[in-house]
Structure 1
Amino acid sequence: MSELCPRFEKAMQIISKRWVGLILFEMLTGAKRFSEMESNLPISGRLLSDRLKMLEKEGIVERKIYSEFPVRIEYSLSKKGQSLRPVIEDIQKWADDWINPEEVNEHITNSQ
């Protein structure tokens, strides 16, 4: 058990970082360009870039550069990132079952 606790804590730090869950959820459908994610997610380009770099460093996201003109860059989940699919889907199911939509609207209103 002493081995599990620090690893569990590290995993929770990664996936609970603000916006990471939404980014991972967005990427479950396949490779995405930065501009596509930026338009689909309610976060700034700077923050999205920061989170993608962090996820790439953790080995969860892969960045592929295509030598086209103009250069095309796509982000996708690595094997490590894909292994989060059941976790993300289970959190979505839990949220659908247990999170009241009014609580979400109240939280959004209070955090602005």
Structure 2
Amino acid sequence: MDSTITPRPCSIASSLHVLGERWTLLAVREMSYGVHRFERIAGYTGASRNILTDRLRTLEQAGVVERRQYSEHPPRFEYHLTEAGTELAPVLLALSEWGDKWANDPPITSFDHDCGHPLKIDHTCRHCHREITRDSLTPRRR
């Protein structure tokens, strides 16, 4: 191996540092569906209590989730997505679409848009409106 090759600084790697653990995006999925209480998030994801506690703590420290107390005796909290967490919606939809195409036969979940048609994610440049492909991208370091 060439000793001059070092890990590439990358926003994907930074994102995975926060979101890359197995149960993390499933917890975000549940909160995006309106599930906010710990027991229900655990139940719908299948995560164990200790793992879910760790994932929610990481998400809270990263500013993706906020805890809101709903009971004083005993103290109980709900988990809600922050603006950063809400902005993960397109990521979740893209993963769902990919999973329907490549990981599940037949697809498990589908979404309808409020226009009445099945949702199809459109990967286009907002500036020129052309399709985004690997060949149309050039990485540029800031």
What TM-score results when the alignment is normalised by the length of structure 2? 0.62
Which of the pair has more CA radius of gyration? 2
- Correspondence for 1:15 among 8, 16, 19: 19
Partner of 1:40: 44
Q: Percent identity?
A: 35
| Structure with bigger RCO (C-alpha 8 Å, 6+ apart) | 1
Gaps of 5+ in 1: 103-112
Q: Distance in 2 between matches of 1:19 and 1:31?
A: 15
1:19-49 deviation line (CA, Å, top 9, x unaligned): 1121111111125111111222211101000
Partner of 1:81: 85
- Correspondence for 2:67 among 54, 63, 66: 63
Higher normalized helix content (fraction of residues): 1
Q: Distance in 2 between matches of 1:59 and 1:76?
A: 11
**Pairwise CA RMSD:** 2.1
What TM-score results when the alignment is normalised by the length of structure 1? 0.76
Over 3 Å off, 4+ runs: 67-72
1:31-84 deviation line (CA, Å, top 9, x unaligned): 511111122221110100000000000000110013544433110111100000
Is 1:99 matched with 2:103? yes
